Amino acid sequence: MTSISEDSDKEKVRSVSVDLNNDASLVIDIPDALCERDKVKFTVHTKTTLSSFQKPEFSVPRQHEEFIWLHDTIVETEEYAGLIIPPAPPKPDFEGPREKMHKLGEGESSMTKEEYAKMKQELEAEYLAVFKKTVQVHEVFLQRFSSHPIFRKDRNFQIFLEYDQDLSVRRKNAKEMFGGFFKNMVKSADEVLISGVKEVDEFFEQEKTFLLDYSSKIKDATAKAEKMTRSHKNVADDYNHISGALNSTAADNNTAFKKTISVCVLQKLEDRVASDQELKLTELLRYYTRDIQAAKDLLYRRARALADNENSNKALDKARLKGKDIAQAEENQKQCLQKFDKLSESGKKELTSFKARRVVAFRKNLIEMTELEIKHAKVRRLKSNNTLYGSKLSIFLLCQKSLGY
Amino acid sequence: MAASSERSPPPFPDSEEPELLEDSDEGADAFTGTSISEMDSPSPDSTRPPKDIFNEPPEDIFSDPLSNINSEPQKKVDAKIPSPSSDEAVDLFSDPLDDDSEVMSSPEVQNPMPDLLNEPVEAPKSDVLGEPPVSSVKKAASSEMFGDDDDDEDLFKEPPKVVTKKPQPSGPPVDVFTEVKSDVKVKPQVKDDPTDLFAEEALTAPAPKPSAGSSSSRTNGVHSEEQDLFSEATVELSLDSPRNDRKNKDAVKPSVSAPAAPVASSSSKAPSKTLKELEEEESEDKFDLNISITNPEKVGDGMNAYMAYKVSTQTSLTMFRSKTFTVRRRFSDFLGLFEKLSEKHSQNGYLIPPPPEKSILGMTKVKVGKEDPSSAEFVERRRAALERYLQRVVSHPSLLQDPDVREFLEKEELPRAVSTQALSGAGFLKMLNKATDAVSKMTIKMNEQDVWFDEKIQDVENEEQHLRKLHVMVESLVNHRKELSGNTAVFAKSVAMLGSSEDNTALSRALSQLAEVEDRIEQLHQEQASNDFFTFSELLADYIRLLGAVRGCFDQRMKAWQRWQDAENMLQKKREAEAKLLWANKPDKLQQAKDEITEWEAKVTQYEREFERISATVRKEVIRFDKEKARDFNRQVIKYLESLLHSQQQLIKYWDAFLPEAKAIV
C-alpha cells in the first residue's frame, strides 16, 4: 500500500506528454493514487469552467477497470469512428517489484543489515517508479480526452469525471474476453480481406503505408529500448551490489585501501539514468506504439467504411440491374458514402494532428532525455572526480603515514 | 621485527656502539644471503654458508646444543602458557608473576644446566642471537646501562639468549651464567647484532630507552634479578604477545618491565618500521627492472600449438648481463618458474606470486585457431596476467635473486617444463594446498599464541571471501555491461530505421542523429566493459589467487609449528622413559636414553627455530603483501575511476552534440 503525492514530481511525471493544449476550461490531473494489493485507486481531479459540469472543481476515485470501461465505450461509439481514440492505459503491473520484495524478504537472513536496507530502499525506489509511471499513463489518457474538442463533450467521459460513486464496472468475464479476442481475430482477417480494396484517396494510401511501416519500426525500437534500459538497470544493480560488497570489504579491512574503495557512489546515479531513460524514451516509444495502433485502428475503420461503400455501390448496381429494391440500395449506398466521407475527412484531420503531435512529443522527450543524460553524466563525472581525488588523497596520506609523519 | 630477526650478527664482536645502526639498513640485504655471509664470517661459526641460515640444516646443527638446553624449559613454558588465555599469558610472565615462573622453572632448570655445561654453547648462541627481541633486549641492557662492564654486558647478553629459549631457566644458578659468560666471550659477535638492532630500535623508540636504562641499572647489581628481567622480556618475545598488550604494559609498569620495554617498543614499532623499511625497499625495490610481455604468437598447429610470449626486460641491474634482453616463453614456462620457486622458497614462508590458471577451454579455442574476438580476448587477458605475474615475482627482493628467475628472464632456451603438462601447476598446487589445508585444519589444532597471526589469518580469510563475492559481482557487471552495449547497438539500429521511415524531416534527422549517438555510446560501454574487466575484475582475480598464496604461507608456518610440537611430544616421551629407567635403576640403558633425549632436544630447538624463522618471514611477507595490495588497489582504483571519468566526459560530449539536433525539430 503506497500512497504518493505527486505534486513535487508533477513536472517530471508528465514527461510523456502528448501535446495537450492545456486550455483552462477543462483541466484534469491525478494528484494521488492508492495501491491496495492488485487494485490501484486513482484520484481523478478535475477543474473546469464548462457549464456541462455541475461544479467547477471535483475529484473522484477511479480504478483502472473504469478507465478501460471509458475507453471501450468510446471505441464502441459509432460517431467516433473517424477519430483517433486515445489508447487505453496498460494494466498496472507491480508484479516485478513485488516479487523482488518477496524474494528480498526470503533472503533477509543471508544478508547483512546494511545490504538489506540498501536493497529494500532500492526496491522501494523501483516500486515507486513503476507506480508513478502507471499514474502518469492514466493521467495522460484522460488528458487526451480533455484536450480533444469532441471527446471532451462526451457524456460518458463527463460521467467518468464527475460521478463520485463507484461506476460499478466489473471486470470482463471470460466470455467477454473471448469475445474480444474473437473480434480481434475477425478484425485482422477483415483487414486482410479489405486490403484488396483499392484506395481512392492518395493521402490515406500514403498514410497507411507510412503507419504500417512506422508501427513495425517503432515496435521494434520499443522492444530494443526496453531491452536496453533493462540491461542498464542490471548494470545499475551490479553497481549497487558492488558498492555493498566493497563496503563490507572495507569494513572488514583495516588496511589502507579502505578509503579508496568508496567508489561506487555511482550506482545510484546509474540507476537514475536507467529509470529516466526508461521514462523519457521508452515510455515515449511505448506510448506511440499504442497511439499508432489507435491510428491504425482509425485507418481500419475507414477502410472498413470504404469497403462498405464499395459493397453498397455494388449492391446498388445489382439492384439497378435487377430493378428492384433500388430505393433501399440507393439509400444504403448514400449512407455508406456519407459515412465514408465523414470518416475520411475527420480521419485526415486526426492523422495530421497526430503527426504534428507526435513530432512535438518526440522533440520534447528527446530534449528532455538529452538534458537528463547530460545532467547525470555531469553528476557522475563530478562524483568520480571526487572519488578520484579522495583516493589520491588517501594514497598521499598513506605515504605520509608510512614515512612516519 | 621480522626484518630484524633475520639480521645476522655484525662483524665485530666487541663493538657495541649503537652507531652500528647503519647495519640496520642492510637488514634487507641480510635476506639475500651475501650480506649474511659477511656478517657471519667473523663469528666462530664462520663455516656457515651464507644462505644456509635460512634454508639449510647446518644452521640448525649449530643451534642444536643450545636448543637442547633450552628445549626442555621451553616446553615447560609452553605447557604453562597455553593454560591461561594467550593474552593473559603475557601478563603472567610480566613481573608479578616472574617469581612464579621462576619457581616453576626451577625444577626443570636442573636438567638443562648440565647440558648447558657439557655442551659447547658457542655455536648455538650466535644463532640464538639471530633473534631480534633477545638481541634488542640484550643490547638495550648492555649498551645503555652496562656499557661499562664488559663482563656484565656479556653476562647479560648471554643469559638473554639462554633465557629467550627458556624463561624458566632465568631462575637458574649462577653457574649457568658464568658458563654462559665464558661462551659469550668466545663469541662476541653476538653482541654486535643486538646492538644494531637496538640502535635501530632506539631510534624508532627513544622513549623506552631511558626507562630501560633505569630499570636495568637498578637491577644491575643482582644477577638473578636481571636474569628475571631478561627472562621476562624473552618470554614476551617467545609469546609474541600482541603489540597492544605490550604497549599497555609499558604504560602501566615501565620500571618493572624495563627490559621488556625495549622489546615491546621494538615490536610495537615493528610494523611501522617495517612499513618504513618497505617504503625504502620500494625505492630500491623498484630495482630499475622493467618487464613487459608482448607479441603473443601462436606457434605450431593443431593441438600441439601453443602461444609464445615475448618477455622483454629492461634493467640497469648489474646482475644481468645486459641492459635489455628479450626471450620467448610459453605459458608452461611460466608455470615451471612458479614451481621451481615454490619448491625452493615456499617452505620458508615466502609468498610466491601464483601464475594465472591454465584454461584448457580458452587455449583449445586458440589452438583451433578461430579468429574470433573471444580467443583474442583470452590471449590478451592471459598476456596481461602473465605480465603482472612476472612483475610481482621480480618485485620481490628475494625472489629476484633467485637464479631461476634470472635464467627465466635471460636464458635463450629453457628446458621444457614438463610437469605442468597434465595438470596446471597452479591448479595442482591449489588442490594440494586445499587437501593439506583441510587435513591440517582437522588434525592440527594450532594453539595460536601470536595474536598478530591469529588476526591476520582471520583477516585473510574474510578478505578472500569478500573478494570472491566482489569478483562475482564485477564479473556480472562486465557481462551486463557487454549486454548493455549489445542492446544499445541494436537499439541504435532500430532507431536509425525508425528515422528512415519518419516523414518529418527534422525528426527523421534527429532520430538518425540519435542512432549515431547511441552507436557511440555503445562503443563507450564496450570500452568501459573491458576497463571493468581488465582493471577491476582481473585485479580481484589476481588478489584472490594471491590471498590463496598467503594462506599457503600460513599453512607452511602451521606445518613448522606442528613439526616442532611433534618433536616436543617426542622429547617428552623420551624424558619419561628416562625417568622410568632412572627409577628402575638401569644405568646401562640410561646412557642411550640420555643420548636420545639430547638428540630430540636438538630437534626441538631446531624446529622451534625453524618455526620462529618462518613466522618472521611470513610476517614480513604478509606485511609486504598488504602494502603491495594497498598500492595495487589504489593504483587500479584510480585507473578505473579515471576510465569512468573519461567515459562520462565522452557521454557528456555526445549528448551535448545531440541537444541542438533535438531542439531543431520543428
Distance from CA of A385 to the nearest CA of B (A): 7
Contact check, Cβ <8 Å, A245/B469: yes
The CA-based dihedral angle spanning residues A275, A280, A284, A285, taken in that order and rounded to the nearest 10 degrees: -60
Which residue in chain A is spatially nearest to B502 when comparing CA positions?
A: A214
Residue B586: strand, helix, or coil: coil
Report the run of H or E that residue B632 belongs to, with start and end: helix B587-663
Tell me how far CA of residue A351 lies from CA of A80, A364, B342, in angstroms.
14, 20, 78
Residue among B357, B358, B369 nearest B303 (CA): B369
Contact check, Cβ <8 Å, B507/A395: no
Question: Which residues on adjacent β-strands are paired with residue A4?
Answer: A33
- Is A149 within the bounds of a domain? yes
User: Residue A219: which residues within 8 A CB-CB, separation 6 or more?
Assistant: A289
- Is A147 within the bounds of a domain? yes
Which chain B positions have a beta carbon within 8 Å of A398's beta carbon? 630, 634
Has residue A379 got a pLDDT over 70? Answer: yes
Are B268 and B201 in contact by the 8 Å Cβ rule? The answer is: no
- Is A164 within the bounds of a domain? yes
- Is A296 within the bounds of a domain? no
pLDDT at B296: 79
Q: Please identify which residue in the block is written with the cell numbers 518477496.
A: A102
Residue B85: strand, helix, or coil: coil
B494 and A CB contact within 8 Å: yes
DSSP B304-361: G-EEEEEEEEEE--TTSSSSEEEEEEEHHHHHHHHHHHHHHHGGGT--PPPPPPP-HH
Contact check, Cβ <8 Å, A377/B637: no
Are B79 and B609 in contact by the 8 Å Cβ rule? The answer is: no
**Domain extent at residue A76:** 18-93+134-170
User: Residue A252: which residues within 8 A CB-CB, separation 6 or more?
Assistant: B459, B462, B463, B466
CA angle B447, B448, B453 (to 5 degrees): 160
What are the 10-residue block averages of pLDDT along chain B, 666 residues in total?
A: 40 41 39 38 41 39 40 39 38 39 39 41 38 40 40 40 39 39 38 39 39 39 40 38 40 38 38 41 56 80 77 79 81 82 77 79 66 74 85 81 80 62 52 62 61 79 82 85 87 85 80 86 86 82 85 83 86 86 79 84 87 85 82 78 81 85 77
Report the run of H or E that residue A33 belongs to, with start and end: strand A26-36
- Grid coordinates representing A315 are 449492391
Cα separation, A236 vs B573, in Å, equals: 65
Q: Binning pLDDT at 50, 70 and 90, where does residue A250 land?
A: low
Distance from CA of A379 to the nearest CA of B (A): 9
Among positive and negative, which fits the CA dihedral B83, B84, B85, B86?
negative
CB contact residues (below 8 A), chain B span 504-523, against chain A: 504, 506-507, 510-511, 514
Which residue in chain A is spatially nearest to B498 when comparing CA positions?
A: A217
Q: Please identify which residue in the block is written with the cell numbers 492488485.
A: A38
Measured in residues, chain B has a length of 666
Taking only the tens place, the pLDDT of each residue in A56-74 is 788 888 888 888 888 888 8
Distance from CA of A127 to the nearest CA of B (A): 22
Which residue in chain A is spatially nearest to B274 when comparing CA positions?
A: A402
Which chain A positions have a beta carbon within 8 Å of B496's beta carbon? none
- Grid coordinates representing A350 are 486526426
pLDDT at B502: 77
Which chain B positions have a beta carbon within 8 Å of A367's beta carbon? 659, 662-663
Indicate the burial class of A97 (C-beta count within 10 angstroms; 0-12, 13-18, 19 or more): buried
Domains of chain A: total: 1
B289-299 β-sheet, strand order: B289-299, B306-315, B324-330
Report the run of H or E that residue B441 belongs to, with start and end: helix B425-443
Left, alpha or beta for B84 (phi > 0: left; psi -120 to 50: alpha)? beta
End-to-end CA distance of chain A: 57
User: Residue B121: which residues within 8 A CB-CB, separation 6 or more?
Assistant: B65, B66, B69, B179, B180, B183
- Is A290 within the bounds of a domain? no
User: Residue B266: which residues within 8 A CB-CB, separation 6 or more?
Assistant: B1, B4, B132, B133, B136, B197, B198, B201, B204, B205
Which residue in chain A is spatially nearest to B484 when comparing CA positions?
A: A231
Are B2 and B27 in contact by the 8 Å Cβ rule? The answer is: no
Q: Please identify which residue in the block is written with the cell numbers 557487471.
A: B477
Contact check, Cβ <8 Å, B484/A232: yes
Q: What CATH number does the domain containing A80 carry? A: 3.30.1520.10
- Is A61 within the bounds of a domain? yes
Quote the DSSP letter at residue A92: P
Has residue A253 got a pLDDT over 70? Answer: no
Are B181 and B154 in contact by the 8 Å Cβ rule? The answer is: yes
DSSP A99-146: HHHHHHHHGGGGS-HHHHHHHHHHHHHHHHHHHHHHHHHHHHHHHHHH
- Is A333 within the bounds of a domain? no
Radius of gyration of chain B (CA): 31
Contact check, Cβ <8 Å, B487/A224: yes
Which chain A positions have a beta carbon within 8 Å of B640's beta carbon? 263
- Nearest by CB to A370, from B480, B484, B655: name it: B655
Computed over every residue of chain A, the mean pLDDT equals: 71
Which chain B positions have a beta carbon within 8 Å of A374's beta carbon? 652, 655-656, 659
Which chain A positions have a beta carbon within 8 Å of B493's beta carbon? 224
Interface test with A, best of B466, B542, B646 (most A CBs within 10 A): B466
pLDDT at B637: 75
Contact check, Cβ <8 Å, B663/A363: yes
Distance from CA of B498 to the nearest CA of A (A): 5
What percent of chain A stands above pLDDT 90?
A: 0
- Grid coordinates representing B640 are 578505473
The CA-based dihedral angle spanning residues B653, B655, B661, B664, taken in that order and rounded to the nearest 10 degrees: -110
- Is A185 within the bounds of a domain? no
Contact check, Cβ <8 Å, A370/B487: no
Tell me how far CA of residue B274 lies from CA of A87, A92, A289, B476, in angstroms.
73, 64, 68, 38
pLDDT at A51: 74
pLDDT at A79: 74
CA angle A353, A356, A361 (to 5 degrees): 120
Q: Binning pLDDT at 50, 70 and 90, where does residue A398 land?
A: low
For chains A and B, what is the number of CB pairs under 8 angstroms? 178
- Grid coordinates representing B657 are 552534440
